[in-house]
Amino acid sequence: VSSDRKIMRPDDANVAGNVHGGNILKMIEEAGCIVGTRHCNTQNGDHCLAALVRVEKTEFLSPVFIGEVTHVTAEITHTSKHSLEVQVKVMAENILTGAKKLANKAALWYVPCSLQNVDKIMEVPPIKYASAEQEEEGRKRYEAQKMERLETKARPEEVMPSPPNPEKHTVGFSQSTLIHLVGPSDCTLHDYVHGGVTMKLMDEVAGIVAARHCNTNIVTASVDAINFHRKIKKGCVVTVTGRLTFVSNKSMEIEVLVDVSSILEAQKGKYRAVSAFFTFISLDKDNKPLPVPALKVGIVQSSSKVCLSFKTLIHNL
């Protein structure tokens, strides 16, 4: 078990004073990486670093504010031959009143990569389970996430550009893109991007999409499984694109795709590195939920879940 704590400062928050969801995601990933790397280096052999491959649905249960202290706890709950599951919880404490609240919880999957050869996946030391039932439940979660990662990897799609002069409250109106050059501070000892850095960029883009659609204060409510398909190396250019895929009267679902290209090796082309769906809600000045503007149907873009999604069709029946 690993734990860490940090006081939330103004540079951790958005303009409304809520701690940025991307910062929470980054703290969660760092905690998972620490406990995973420690565990995988308890046996003889090459030293290794735990690399993030998937984050299960992440729930933002309570907002965290400037001045509160976050307590991040990570625990390994399942191991297979080449991967491990880490359960992470984030508690927020008001140090003036002593009040504590559960702010966030998530499950992350890592694989140990050799420091000598990043493409070499090391074996994971087994953990001791409290019961056979606990081990079996972990095995079922492992098999489920493995299948979902393979299915998601097999569904790459192109990011369609926004149409010129899009109508307000359409997909094209709020679609947003961030371009980031990967530097040394973004990377692990392997010179590959930290998973938490990527998730923070993704949350920022999703937040811009949500804010453009609502024109209000918005916060992350949850994140569907984040799948890391391929590594991102130092010196690459990362293009993070977010677009609305579904809107209810209370929330917005935003697909975020991370595509990568190399400046020095342009002939290799662009590839899809990460994909996820974020859910945001709109808040008033008292942090109470506001109705979300309806999504207007414009030009339907080619994607598994874009513009007029299946859920939108169901709600319109």
Active site residues: 14, 203
Alpha carbons 46 and 121: distance in angstroms, whole number: 10
Q: Are 211 and 283 within 8 A, CB to CB?
A: no
Phi, psi of 278 (to 5 degrees): -105, 145
Alpha carbons 274 and 259: distance in angstroms, whole number: 7
Q: Are 176 and 241 within 8 A, CB to CB?
A: yes
Question: Which tokens sit at 211?
Answer: 């804010």
Alpha carbons 312 and 310: distance in angstroms, whole number: 5
Spatial CB neighbours of 137, under 8 Å, sequence gap ≥ 6: none
Question: Which tokens sit at 231?
Answer: 């590594």
**Beta-carbon-side half-sphere exposure of residue 285 (alpha carbons within 13 Å):** 0
**Burial (Cβ within 10 Å: 0-12, 13-18, ≥19) of residue 291:** exposed
